Every structure is written in structure tokens, then in C-alpha cells.
Amino acid sequence: MNARRRAPWSRLALRSPAALLFLLLGSCALHFPREVREHRRVEVAHHNDPSGAPEVAPVAAPDTADTAAVPVWLFVEKLHTGLVFDLAWLERHGYRKPEGIGEHRYAAFSWGDETAYVQERWLGPGQVARALFWPSDSVMEIIPFDWNVPEVCIHQRIYLTHVPESAGAAFAGALNAFTRTDSEGVPLTAGSSPWGDGLLIRSPYSYYFPRICNIWTVDVLNAAGFDFDGVTGLSADGVVRQALKPRNGFQQIWSPEWAVDSPNLDEPNLDEPNGS
């Protein structure tokens, strides 16, 4: 798996010049807190409540523990998307965890141009043009953590759904497919992630337009049975619109706009299926 190659994305085509101009504005890396933070209490104000009364965004419980018990989070910046998984769940179903990640509860995954992750700042015009129009090296960023997901991704919009235990095999397979390995199957790293305590894992696929970061999110979700269209998924907002469709079942549980300082409330546990 050490040779770079292009992935098969039959539904994708260069149909949207506007999307291209939109993507020229941003980098591929999600921005996580650089330092290790202690737990903080967070109050969530429901965005539809005119009184401003605080409450945790409601999340429907799964129908049964057997059919949809495992949470999967989609998190979104202005231009970029990523996914958060229960790390032990992925490992149970065959995910090859890179050395150096350690034992943690969750891991955030995203994918993109290697330069965009490594240099810790937005790409310049020349770098954007090169990344989009010439196949370039790519990496999959993995950031492990143990806190409630909204506490770590405080600057991102977060959407939650639940999947069956068995879906772990499809997700693990998709993540393994985006990982370059040595002759013994050990994932190859390109260095530390610029944010958090994660790693940049070398990917066998080239980055180029329209094979961009949000299409990685679409591909991984579709591998587990979700129904996302690649063309609409070129933009982060396009991914979100599809995630909220009944066929995909995501619900928004966090927005940076909902945060209110509240030292007197226990922090909400948004990791549970019922959001309580």
C-alpha cells in the first residue's frame, strides 16, 4: 500500500467553478486546542428558544441498543469537515491504530493536502493552485482525546448520529484504506499533527480537485452505508445539508454560538445517545 494512487470516485466531476473559488480561501486542517485543557463546564443555549433558556440540544435516542448504539460525530469548520469515532470500537473491528496514539476514548479524523497540515497556516495562492491542480501528497490527521466531544471541538459545529455496532467494520476498513503502511502493515507517519497530540498518517491517495478534504468525509460515511452525494459534498455546508437529511439521520448538538459561561451547572454529557 505504499504507492500513491487515485481513488475511484465515479460520481464526482468538475461541475462547480463557484465551489472551486470557495475552496481557494481555506486550508485543509481542522484547528484543535494546542494545549491540554482540563474539563470545563459548558452551558448550551438552544438556538430556537426565544427566551434564551439554557438546555442541551436534543438528540433522539436510538431505537434499540442492538440497532444503533454507537455514536458517530461529524464536525464542521467553515470550509472543512472531519469525523470523530470511539477509538476502542474502531480497534475492535480491525482498525490499525498508529503507534504513538496511545489509549484514548475518542479520535478525530480528517484528511487533506500534506502541506496544508504541516505548515500550520493557510495556504498561499501558489500553494492552493498546486494542491488543487497537481496531485500532491496527502495525510490523514488523527487527534486522540478523552473529553466530551463538544469540549474539544468548541470552535466547530457538531452533528451526531448513532450506528449499529457492526458498522465499525466498514468504518475501520475505510480508515485503513486511507493509510499507507510499511511491509509489516504498520501505518507510516508524516509527523505530529499541528493541533492537539495527534499524528499525520501518510495516505496512499493523491490530493487534487475534486478529490479534496470534504470528499474524504463523504467517502468514509458512504463506506458505512450512509447516502452522500460527492458533488454536493464538495463544500462543508453541502456535507452538512446532506447529513441532516432523514436518510442520514444526523442532528446538530453543538454550535459555537450556543456557548454561555455558566460555572454553576454541571457540564452536559453529550456523548450518550439521549444527549443527557
Whether the Cβ atoms of residue 129 and residue 164 lie closer than 8 Å to each other: no
Cis peptide before 194 (omega within 30 of 0): no
Of 21-25, 184-188, 215-219, minimum mean pLDDT range: 21-25
Q: What is the mean predicted confidence (pLDDT) over 169-186? A: 96
Confidence of residue 55 (pLDDT cuts 50, 70, 90): very low
In a domain, 165, yes or no: yes
Quick check: is 1 in a domain? no
From the centroid of its chain, how far is CA 185? 24
How many CB atoms neighbour CB 203 within 10 A? Answer: 25
Query: What's residue 40's pLDDT?
Result: 31
Q: How confident is the model at residue 120 (pLDDT cuts 50, 70, 90)?
A: low
**Is the pLDDT higher at 41 or at 153?**
153
The pTM score is 0.72
pLDDT band (50, 70, 90) for residue 101: very high
Asked, for residue 11, whether it belongs to a domain, the answer is no
Tell me, what's the pLDDT at 25? 36
Confidence category of residue 260, pLDDT binned at 50, 70, 90 = low
Q: What letter does residue 165 receive in the DSSP assignment?
A: G
Domain range for residue 24? Answer: 17-260
Percent of the chain scoring above 90 in pLDDT: 49
CA–CA distance, 107 with 225 (Å, rounded to integer): 21
CA 168 to chain centre: 16
Residue 211 confidence (pLDDT)? 81
How far is residue 26 CA from its own chain's centroid?
Answer: 16
Give the mean pLDDT of 169-197.
93
Q: How far apart are CA 29 and CA 111, in angstroms?
A: 8
User: What is the average pLDDT across 185-214?
Assistant: 90
Whether 249 has a pLDDT exceeding 90, the answer reads: yes
**Is 9 part of any domain?**
no
Residue 266 lies in a domain: no
Higher pLDDT, 74 or 63: 74
35 part of a folded domain: yes
Collapse the DSSP code of 274 into the 3-class scheme (helix H, G, I; strand E, B; otherwise coil) and give the result. Answer: coil
What SS3 class is residue 16? coil
- Determine, yes or no, domain membership for 276: no
Q: Quick check: is 81 in a domain? A: yes
Number of structural domains in the chain? 1
* SS3 state at 18: helix
Predicted confidence at residue 123, as pLDDT, reads 59
Burial of 208 per CB tally in 10 Å (0-12, 13-18, 19+) = middle
C-alpha separations of 211 from 14, 16, 30, 216, 225 in Å? 10, 13, 17, 8, 20
